[in-house]
Amino acid sequence: MRIVIAEDAAIMRDGLTQTLTRRGHDVVAAVGDAEALRKAIAEHQPDVAIVDVRMPPSHTDEGLRAAKAIHQDFPKVGVLVFSQYIEAHAASELFASAPTGVGYLLKDRVADVSEFIDALTRVAQGGTVLDPEVVRQLLGAGRRRDTLAALTPREKEVLSLIAQGRSNVAIAAALFISPKVVEKHVANIFDKLGLAPSDTDNRRVIAAIKYLES
């Protein structure tokens, strides 16, 4: 993969660059702020960009805004936003503006290198990746109860894994059930959420967004 990294902490930027390079990826640019990120994206048009949420100058949500801008200008570039904190509404905002090729992960996830690179690959290929922490927060939140009340606990589990961008096979492995059973659950979920049968991937994304925004 050709990767651009935007992260203001040098130690993390260098660490990521080295790790990804050792795993055979091409880090074409590693920058420290949103402005430099914009230039790097325009220049290199990478497969995916890793973008820290808090960057200079204001250290608030530069990364989120940059991610939305990248999606508008370069829809083919996947963006993995990563952050020290998980904010559910930031996630739903991000996914609403760019339902494909987007990810939102806690910075901690870099600790599990292979999983992190898998997630990055999914985003680069146009998939969605959502941190389990977002899912945990949202499942604890009350207002989802009404909208998702129709789903069984198992279906909710499956939906949360869909929202994390997992494939049916991966979901089956995670829940120790057969892919056939997963397919049945997914069909039930689509049905209960009122999603007409069309392009499956698209329905998955819509379900994930519904899940986030409900």
Task: Give min distance, CB of 10 to other proteins, in A.
Answer: 9
210 and 137 Cβ atoms separated by less than 8 Å: no
| 112 scored as a contact of other proteins (CB under 8 A) | yes
Nearer to other proteins, 93 or 155 (CB): 93
181 and 157 Cβ atoms separated by less than 8 Å: no
Distances (CA, A) of 167 to 23, 174, 207: 23, 10, 14
Give the CB-side neighbour count of residue 174, counting CA atoms within 13 A. Answer: 17
Of 111, 153, 176, 199, which lies in the binding site for other proteins, with binding defined by CB under 8 A?
111
Task: Give min distance, CB of 135 to other proteins, in A.
Answer: 12
| 149 scored as a contact of other proteins (CB under 8 A) | no
Of 21, 72, 84, 200, which lies in the binding site for other proteins, with binding defined by CB under 8 A?
84
| 21 scored as a contact of other proteins (CB under 8 A) | no
Count the residues in the chain: 214
| 121 scored as a contact of other proteins (CB under 8 A) | no
| 50 scored as a contact of other proteins (CB under 8 A) | no
3-state secondary structure of 78: strand
Number of residues that bind other proteins (CB under 8 A): 33
Nearer to other proteins, 44 or 65 (CB): 65
Residues 53-72 that bind other proteins (CB under 8 A): 54, 58-61
- Euclidean distance between CA atoms 104 and 191, whole angstroms: 27
Q: Which among 55, 68, 42 is positioned nearest to 8, based on CA atoms?
A: 55
In this chain, which stretch among 137-145, 166-174, 180-188, 197-205 interacts with other proteins, using CB under 8 A? 137-145
Label each residue of 14-71 as H, E or C: HHHHHHHHHCCCEEEEEECCHHHHHHHHHHHCCCEEEEECCCCCCCCCHHHHHHHHHH
Q: Which residues bind other proteins (CB under 8 A)?
A: 8-9, 11-12, 15-16, 19, 22, 54, 58-61, 84-85, 87-89, 107-108, 110-114, 137-138, 140-143, 145-146
